[in-house]
Amino acid sequence: MDRRKFLLSSLAVAAGATARRAAAEPLLRFGHRQANMVTEPGPAVFDLAKQIHGLQGVELQVYFKGATLCDRDTLAAYRSAARRTGLTIPSVAGVWPPDATLLQPTAEENLRNAIKVAESLGATTILAACFEQNCPQMDRESSYGPVVALLQKVSGAARDAGVTIGMETSNTPADDRKLIDLVARPGIQVYYDLDNVERYQHTGQAVPGIALLGKRIRQVHLKNEDRLLEEHGRVNWADAAKGLAAISYSGWLVFETSHSGPQQCIEATVKNIAFVTSHFVA
């Protein structure tokens, strides 16, 4: 083999190895919750997000401080801002209007409305929160049965819209798994918030819950109150990142960290992205 052919062959081998490594490595996608980035609603949140290196999306709230995404002009303004900044809207949260919950008769209407909003924005996940007295008790069929039936009922509309409903609860990971398995619809999964698991006194269950839930996890919230993820808190985020890598998690990682202002939001989020990336190894 002459030198030229040898060099070309070597380059091809190296390129193939690089491609294989790239295919094997997870593509991490980071977003941030709108309501933790800014104090007031509005598309300007995308301009702040654009300044954060490594951030690819913003999770919006359907209802946020008196504002709503339920009118056409507002939706158009958010879509335009996302396109202008090259950012994604991976998910919508805040789906309950004031005083509404998952356990009230209006829940179906609220979920169907959120599905329409998500579809209009190009979001593929809806965060449906239910905590404490508004959360189904998984040891009582009279409590969880109506919720299972409701989620099964709306799952078709979610599927048709290309949307998955992620349930974020105050229950244990085992109870989350039970709920999802009872619903038994691919469009109903878990929106996993490890800090909430610990905050609701399921001590020590957050990180092991990753493996327990596995492919039922649709999306993940990352937060440590107003501290960096690398600092001490309820969750060991280095272990959590490794746990997510171990199940080959490839969904969005959305920050829900509290910030003191725009500049601190930028600086802290860049550090948090680097921290998670460095520990996301199986």
Of 18-22, 119-123, 238-242, least confident by mean pLDDT is: 18-22
Q: How confident is the model at residue 66 (pLDDT cuts 50, 70, 90)?
A: very high
| 160 contact partners, CB below 8 Å, separation of at least 6 | none
State how beta strands 67-68 and 63-64 pair: antiparallel
Closest CA to 143 of 175, 97, 184: 175
**Residue 102 resides in a domain:** yes
- Residue 45: per-residue pLDDT: 98
Whether 155 shows a pLDDT value over 70: the answer reads yes
Q: What is the pTM of this model?
A: 0.90
Q: Please report whether residue 1 resides in a domain.
A: no
pLDDT tens, residue by residue, 28-57: 999 999 999 999 999 999 999 999 999 999
| Phi, psi dihedral angles at 169 (to 5 degrees) | -120, 175
Q: How confident is the model at residue 17 (pLDDT cuts 50, 70, 90)?
A: very low
Q: What is the CA radius of gyration of the chain?
A: 20
Asked whether residue 259 is domain-assigned, the answer is: yes
Q: How confident is residue 206, by pLDDT bands cut at 50, 70 and 90?
A: very high
pLDDT at res. 27: 83
31 in any annotated domain: yes
The answer to whether residue 8 is domain-embedded is no
Q: Could you tell me the residue range of the domain that residue 88 belongs to?
A: 26-279
87-132 residue pLDDT tens: 999 999 999 999 999 999 999 999 999 999 999 999 999 999 999 9
pLDDT of residue 9: 56
Residue 61's domain is classified under what CATH number? 3.20.20.150
Q: Is residue 3 domain-resident?
A: no
Total of domains in the chain: 1
In a domain, 9, yes or no: no
- In this structure, how many other beta carbons lie within 10 angstroms of the beta carbon of residue 237? 24
Q: Spell out the alpha helix ranges (H) of 25-70.
A: 45-50
Flag whether 115 is in a domain. Answer: yes
